[in-house]
Structure 1
């Protein structure tokens, strides 16, 4: 049984899925990029090379719910490989929920890759309920592009590097207004540096690692984006925090 999730420092009953979806609802009036991460108390983004080592059933429950209302789920290719992603397919309950709200049955899986080091025969593509999008660079290997063109829409979003603002624009032009990002740290860092993040959902794992893992975001230059706490939930000793851009940075 999943650990109950409550609003922090209150005696309110545990939140059901609908209450959690309301808590994490996307705004109705504009495109939106949300990033979702988990970190240890000492700032590690992974344990033994994967973020899943830090999470638990409550974190996984929220992750699955965060995907539900999104038009696209955005993930870097390295994270797709290291975390063992399969096809971006929602369960029947989530599909029914989306249909009632006029959404497509499943979000589009949007994968970011400069090198196109992806296997076109993998379940990500072979079992995809909707054709994925690969966001790459114009300098990507032509042979790999041709192979992946058979199973996905391969789109250039920059010459040498995938540019976050181009990613936002290209997805929006495809009707993918609400984007839920799941990493990794380089992708998140690039989006922060480009001032392209509207929201961060951060699970704070009650774990100390003292290892060499990276933090949840890194980039060549530091950029400060002021955020405000929009919600704080608790599942046992774990905190589930939601931060959104302050009005002056929106």
Structure 2
């Protein structure tokens, strides 16, 4: 691997190289929470109101390997609606190989489910989340969410999990995932969910892509929370692509 100023040039890295760089801990006993975001140089989390607007080929490459490694992909309901989420499309052979190496993947090669966090269960049962997936989505909701909504989502093929009374705390979310044996967690947004996880000290690492663009406008940052906090992080690696995309991995100190 060619290194440039303590960074790794993405060009030439194999899929196995990337899997090694982003490997989850072996046999985690509690959920290991990884967040993956993209931002512009000036800190915008979206362009045209979508994170997809900031995507680059390098970001897509890492986005894909992170999904291949994960047990579950967690998103907030707003992100699922705005980004028109469907089920994850992964490579069964690669998922089995990653599982055999003990760094992620799945024993049978199955794709990771999309887990949507929604206290109200206010989702469209006709959305791609339910109609374009090989694995039933998880709806992480509350006991006080309307029963008819929860039944509609279950009828659409989802697995509905109650993880709180009126609200879903980060601890409640992770406990529900752990009860399902989903320990390698990949959070793809949005900023409110990520901010809540950060404020609860529940995030183990952040994978951040910096897209080589300036956006301006009033777009949000990647995290939003009610109160400011400071969480020291350690840089694990930097990947550089020829188009200027920079991909970093940070873990808690």
TM-score, normalised with respect to structure 1:
0.89
- Alignment pair present for 1:179 and 2:196: no
1:244 aligns with 2:251: yes
Alpha-carbon shift at residue 225 of structure 1 (Å): 1.8
- Show the counterpart of 1:89: 89
2:133 pairs with 128, 134, 144, which one?
128
Alignment of 1:93-112 (within 5 A): 93-98=93-98, 100=100, 103-104=107-108, 105-112=110-117
Partner Cα separation in structure 1 for residue 233 and residue 95 of structure 2? 32
Contact 2:38/2:210 (8 A) holds in 1: yes
Give unmatched runs, 5+ long, in structure 1: none
| Distance across 1 between alignment mates of 2:21 and 2:196 | 27
Cα deviation for residue 121 of structure 1 reads 2.6
> How many pairs does the alignment contain?
242
Match of 1:53 in 2: 53
Report the alpha carbon displacement of residue 238 of structure 1 after superposing the two structures with TM: 1.2
Shift >4 Å, 4+ stretches: 5-8, 10-13, 98-102
Q: CA RMSD in A?
A: 2.0
Query: How far, CA to CA, are the matches of 2:8 and 2:191 in structure 1?
Result: 35
Q: What is aligned with 1:26?
A: 24
Note closer, same or farther for the CA distance 1:8–1:82 as it changes in structure 2 (3 Å cut): farther
Deviations 1:49-69 (A, max 9, x none): 001111111101110110001
Query: Structure 1 residues 98 and 129, CA, compared in 2 at 3 Å: closer, same or farther?
Result: farther
Q: Aligned equivalents of 1:138 and 1:92: distance in 2?
A: 35
